[in-house]
């Protein structure tokens, strides 16, 4: 029962992630493979993000949220930003090493070591494939973001696995070397592009960036559908953090109108918006109209 | 919609821009001569100067954007944007400080080639220009400062003071190092100057990061502001039964206060809005820069006629 609960909450995922990463790093050092170092960096990014999410969530569940009344989204994104920056830096280090090796010449990787590297990569690939398959429909939005990143990692791991397998089967040291360089470049691209995208998302969330026009337009369309006329919509302020959307809606209502009617209307509006937009944190303000 | 700045605003922008450009030229000169003379003190001073210059340019662009209403899309204010820049610059200062520390250790312990006496003398001359520019800039800003200056101006004056302080220390150590004929003493004095600037960078950078983080993480406002809000609520005769929700968060100079009032006791919308306006006025007087939102929490009558409160989101 306990085991099932840990599994359902993904609390155990970072533990397996880190165990596999240690194995992968050992294999990388043994095989002297830049590709596996790249895969370790990419894998550690997701493992760290999982760990961050699990630890913050536990802290908040245990009641450590009195000072953070708007949820843990920003703490999560600040942690993710740090992880992204470190990932980009290590990604560039990997690129430098790969470039250096490409220029300075050939480095032999023995077939046995390469086979070991391919096996280690296959293990990590299987684990990620299992996670992608098991959590196809994760419950909460924060986990869904991680799941998307894991799906991308799975695709890259698959491409790297093809390169490594070809290198092992070819039994030619030059092909093995070229495959390692190519796969390392692939890993570098994945790390840096993913890191830059993650950093940008985190920065936008941390600086209270508003929703894009389409998403804000969708909220306005919903309001219109619920009977809010354009002249009644005094203002709409939005911002987002992780998968949570904060919206502050100001409605113009006749000052002479009974409060009870206004309340009923606001309650209906709130229910409709919250049912349509997942993770919505809605605040409704009133502005009076004389007539 | 962007608007044109007033002549007074343009004059302020010009003052900030010309000071920053003078600093920029100085930093470029410092970098060139630090590379030429291999003086660590000058290099560390140049890095610190470049990062401080980033703050100056940031302040300039924020000022320009504010004067032209270009940051309007940040509907919750620019407090978090301000803090993000402070965080980036602070982290940059800390990392540069640590990098200088590593260079000093290499110079003193690993026999890295030290600066020549001629190089140190040239570096001292270049730094003296820096001292002159900083002294004039600090004097001009200090004489223009008022007790009610904006946060951006105060931060700039603080940055300028730190700059002046570190310039004087570097000037002293560099001059002694240039005058000392012994290369070992020169190296140690150069290292001492670099250590001072490096330590200053780490301390200031850490403070900037530490100061920016709570705001960026949406931490609730400090206890004194919370107490002020409590007092205002009491003054406005808002009891805990009238409040359905109360949330606050920090955002640089613009804290966010969000109060959700129940509609109990309000027969018409005007009754509710009367309470809202009264409370808003009280809050605005005590926290003029705050982003205040007073929301409504509907109390809807149930089938038996008594009122129940809708569940919070």
Torsion sign (Cα): A73, A74, A76, A80:
positive
pLDDT score of B114? 61
pLDDT score of B162? 72
pTM of the model as a whole? 0.80
The ipTM is 0.81
Residue B259 near residue B226 (C-beta atoms within 8 A): no
pLDDT in tens, A217-242: 999 999 999 999 999 999 999 998 88
Residue B293 near residue B258 (C-beta atoms within 8 A): yes
- Selected residue with higher pLDDT from B261 and A64: B261
Nearest CA-CA partner of A209 in A198, A220, A201:
A201
Nearest CA-CA partner of B173 in B131, B110, B112:
B131
| Rounded average pLDDT over A49-74 | 87
pLDDT score of B113? 61
pLDDT in tens, B218-259: 999 999 889 999 999 988 888 888 899 899 999 877 889 999
**Partner-chain contact B76 A237, CB within 8 Å:** yes
Per-residue pLDDT at B47 exceeds 80: no
Any residues with CB less than 8 A from the CB of A21 and at least 6 apart, and which?
A: A40, A43, A44, A47
Distance from CA of B78 to the nearest CA of A (A): 8
Structure tokens at A47: 């493992």
pLDDT in tens, A151-175: 899 998 998 888 888 888 887 777 7
Per-residue pLDDT at B312 exceeds 50: no
**Partner-chain contact B296 A286, CB within 8 Å:** yes
Q: How confident is the model at residue B310 (pLDDT cuts 50, 70, 90)?
A: very low
pLDDT score of B313? 30
Average pLDDT of the residues of chain B: 79
pLDDT in tens, A184-226: 888 888 888 999 999 999 999 998 989 998 999 999 999 999 9
Percentage, residues of chain A above pLDDT 90: 36
Q: Which of A32-46, A182-196, A267-281 has the highest mean pLDDT?
A: A267-281
Interface-testing mutation among A244, A263, A291, with chain B (most B C-beta atoms within 10 A): A263
pLDDT score of A276? 92
Q: Which residues of B touch A254 (CB under 8 A)?
A: 269
Per-residue pLDDT at A6 exceeds 60: no
**Rounded distance, CA A203 to CA B85, Å?**
10
- Selected residue with higher pLDDT from B158 and B292: B292
Residue A288 near residue B269 (C-beta atoms within 8 A): yes
Torsion sign (Cα): A73, A74, A80, A83:
negative
pLDDT score of B175? 84
Q: Which residues of A touch B313 (CB under 8 A)?
A: 270, 274, 280-282
Provide the 10 A C-beta neighbour count for residue B292: 16
pLDDT score of B309? 42
Interface-testing mutation among A72, A203, A205, A208, with chain B (most B C-beta atoms within 10 A): A208
- Selected residue with higher pLDDT from B48 and B304: B48
SS3 B206: helix
Please tell me which of the candidates A241, A281, A285 has its beta carbon nearest to residue B296.
A285
Please count the residue pairs, one from chain A and one from chain B, whose beta carbons lie less than 8 angstroms apart: 118
Per-residue pLDDT at B304 exceeds 50: no
**Partner-chain contact A207 B80, CB within 8 Å:** yes
pLDDT score of A247? 95
| Rounded average pLDDT over B113-125 | 74
pLDDT in tens, B135-180: 877 777 777 666 666 666 666 677 677 778 878 887 888 788 778 7
**Partner-chain contact A283 B258, CB within 8 Å:** yes
Alpha helices in chain A (DSSP H): 2-8, 13-31, 34-61, 73-104, 111-134, 141-170, 173-206, 213-225, 259-276
Percentage, residues of chain A above pLDDT 70: 92
């Amino acid at each position: 029962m306990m085991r099932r609960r840990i599994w359902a909450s993904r609390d155990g995922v970072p533990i397996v992630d880190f165990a596999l990463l240690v194995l992968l790093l050992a294999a990388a050092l043994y095989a002297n493979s830049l590709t596996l170092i790249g895969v370790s960096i990419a894998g550690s990014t997701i493992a760290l993000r999982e760990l961050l999410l699990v630890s913050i969530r536990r802290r908040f569940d245990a009641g450590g949220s009195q000072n953070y009344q708007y949820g843990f989204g920003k703490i999560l994104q600040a942690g993710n930003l740090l992880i992204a920056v470190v990932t980009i830096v290590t990604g560039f280090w990997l690129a430098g090493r790969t470039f250096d090796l490409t220029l300075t010449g050939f480095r032999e990787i023995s077939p046995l070591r390469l086979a070991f590297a391919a096996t280690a990569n296959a293990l990590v690939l299987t684990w990620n494939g299992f996670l992608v398959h098991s959590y196809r429909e994760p419950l909460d939005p924060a986990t869904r973001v991680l799941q998307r990143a894991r799906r991308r990692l799975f695709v890259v791991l698959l491409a790297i696995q093809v390169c490594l397998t070809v290198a092992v089967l070819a039994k030619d040291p030059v092909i093995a070397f070229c495959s390692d360089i190519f796969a390392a470049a692939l890993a570098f691209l994945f790390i840096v592009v993913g890191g830059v995208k993650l950093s940008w998302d985190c920065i936008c969330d941390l600086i209270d960036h508003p929703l894009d026009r389409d998403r804000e337009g969708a909220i306005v369309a919903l309001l219109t559908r619920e009977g809010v006329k354009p002249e009644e919509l005094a203002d709409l302020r939005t911002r987002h953090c992780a998968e949570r959307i904060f919206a502050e809606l100001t409605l113009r209502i006749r000052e002479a109108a009974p409060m009870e009617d206004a309340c009923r209307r606001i309650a209906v509006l709130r229910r409709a918006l919250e049912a349509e937009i997942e993770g919505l944190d809605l605040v409704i303000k009133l502005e009076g109209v004389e007539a | 919609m962007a608007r044109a700045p007033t002549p007074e605003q343009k004059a302020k922008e010009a003052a900030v821009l010309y000071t920053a450009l003078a600093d920029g030229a100085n930093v470029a000169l410092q970098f060139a001569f630090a590379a030429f003379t291999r003086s660590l003190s000058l290099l560390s001073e140049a890095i610190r100067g470049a990062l401080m210059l980033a703050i100056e340019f940031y302040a300039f662009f924020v000022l320009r954007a504010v004067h032209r209403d270009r940051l309007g899309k940040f509907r919750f204010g620019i407090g978090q944007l301000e803090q993000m820049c402070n965080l980036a610059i602070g982290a940059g200062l800390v990392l540069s400080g640590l990098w200088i520390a590593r260079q000093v250790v290499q110079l003193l312990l690993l026999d890295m080639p030290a600066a020549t006496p001629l190089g140190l003398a040239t570096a001292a001359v270049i730094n003296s220009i820096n001292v002159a520019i900083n002294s004039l800039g600090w004097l001009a800003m200090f004489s223009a400062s008022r007790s009610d200056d904006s946060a951006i101006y105060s931060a700039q004056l603080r940055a300028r003071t730190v700059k002046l302080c570190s310039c004087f220390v570097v000037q002293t150590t560099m001059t002694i190092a240039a005058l000392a004929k012994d290369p070992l003493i020169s190296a140690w004095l150069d290292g001492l100057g670099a250590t001072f600037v490096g330590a200053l960078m780490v301390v200031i950078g850490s403070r900037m990061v530490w100061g920016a983080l709570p705001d960026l993480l949406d931490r609730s406002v400090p206890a004194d502001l919370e107490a002020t809000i409590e007092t205002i609520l009491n003054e406005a005769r808002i009891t805990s039964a009238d409040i359905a929700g109360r949330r606050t968060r920090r955002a640089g100079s613009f804290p966010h206060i969000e109060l959700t009032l129940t509609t109990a006791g309000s027969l018409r919308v005007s009754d509710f809005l009367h309470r809202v306006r009264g409370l808003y006025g009280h809050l605005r007087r005590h926290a003029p820069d705050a982003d205040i939102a007073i929301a409504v929490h509907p109390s809807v009558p149930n089938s038996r006629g008594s009122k129940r409160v809708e569940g919070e989101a």
